[in-house]
Amino acid sequence: MSTAVVAVEGSLRQAVSRRVLSAGDHPALDKAVAEMQAASGGSVEAVVFFGSRRTGAARANAWSAHDLFAVVNDYRRFYAAMHRAGRTGKRPRFMAALSRPLAPTQISLRFGEPVVHLKVSVILLPTLRRETSSRRADHFTIGRLFQPSRILYAASEAARTQVADALVSAHAETWHWVRPWLPERFDADGYGRTALRVSMSWEVRPEPAGRAGALWEAQRQEQTPVFEALLAELAGRGELVPGAEGTFTLARRVGWLERRRWELYFGRSMARATLRWLKHVLSFEGWLDYIVRKASRHAGERIELTERERRWPWIFLWGRFIRYLRNKDRRGGSE
């Protein structure tokens, strides 16, 4: 490998590391994370902050949870600690068994004073590393962690380094799955915007299509330097042809077989995401109220469930859910 290629690869790592290891400005969240770590009995290896609260994206309000990845060293040990601390009523043995397939597992926790609501994606460190690499099973983890994130806690320098490496990998891997949808000529802004739009369009989310554009505007300042470094690395490897004013074109065209491969990848991810929703109904306490509040926030109007829908949501909520999904993109088009 040439010295030039090593240098640009190093610049990507530096750009991501500079961001994920930067100091935050969320004292209430820092306190809540410290309490969670103290209650975990040493089972938490690292905590990563991501999502709308991290970027300051629009529509985050008092009801919005803080999105975290809790990287743990043992599922049952972590859930047992949360159960002992009175933070969850879920049985540790059940939660540990539930966490092994379709990782990560999302749970709802509250810590701090004033209380901070944490939506925690629980995952083992080896699984995090796999799911941000080319060996991943689906798009769930990498689709969140190629966006701005920050390491709030690490139990050791080794854990911090491994998590940072996973976050670098999540950004580098975007190149493979975004290629079929890139415009003919693009810069770092166009690359990042396309990656976010493609990623979100292949997920089952209670958010309108225009949400990707709004999220990119919130991320643009942080993400552009990262993708500039990535594009420079790709040009150094001969994957991109540099053009005028910081733009690039693909050095090799996208064939139908490559595009089909990634369509199948996203289709498989959507199928797994649907199963993961069913799993999270079992793992996430208060899931129905959380989903209703989130849908209300994105719809711009309050959604009220009937008593029958609350009592038997899996029987009587389907009609309302299908109507919401059908109408959400129309609302998104006006954003």
Number of domains the chain contains: 1
Residue 44 has phi, psi (to 5 degrees) of: -90, 120
Residue 210 has a pLDDT of 72
With a cut of 90, say whether residue 284 has pLDDT above it.
no
Range of the domain at 9: 3-332
Residue 298 has a pLDDT of 54
Residue 331 has a pLDDT of 47
Structural contact between residues 272 and 301, judged by C-beta atoms closer than 8 angstroms? no
With a cut of 70, say whether residue 64 has pLDDT above it.
yes
Residue 219 has a pLDDT of 95
d(CA 66, CA 76) in angstroms, rounded, equals: 23
User: What are 95-142's pLDDT values in tens digits?
Assistant: 999 999 999 999 999 998 889 999 999 999 999 999 999 999 999 999
pTM (predicted TM-score): 0.86
With a cut of 60, say whether residue 276 has pLDDT above it.
yes
**DSSP result, 179-230:** GGG--SSB-HHHHHHHHHHHHHHTS--SS-TTHHHHHHHHHHHHHHHHHHHH
* 91 Cβ contact list (under 8 Å, min separation 6): 79, 83
CATH code for the domain of 103: 3.30.460.10
Residue 243 has phi, psi (to 5 degrees) of: -125, -155
Mean pLDDT value across residues 222-228: 96
Beta bridge partners of 139: none
Confidence of residue 6 (pLDDT cuts 50, 70, 90): very low
d(CA 69, CA 128) in angstroms, rounded, equals: 9
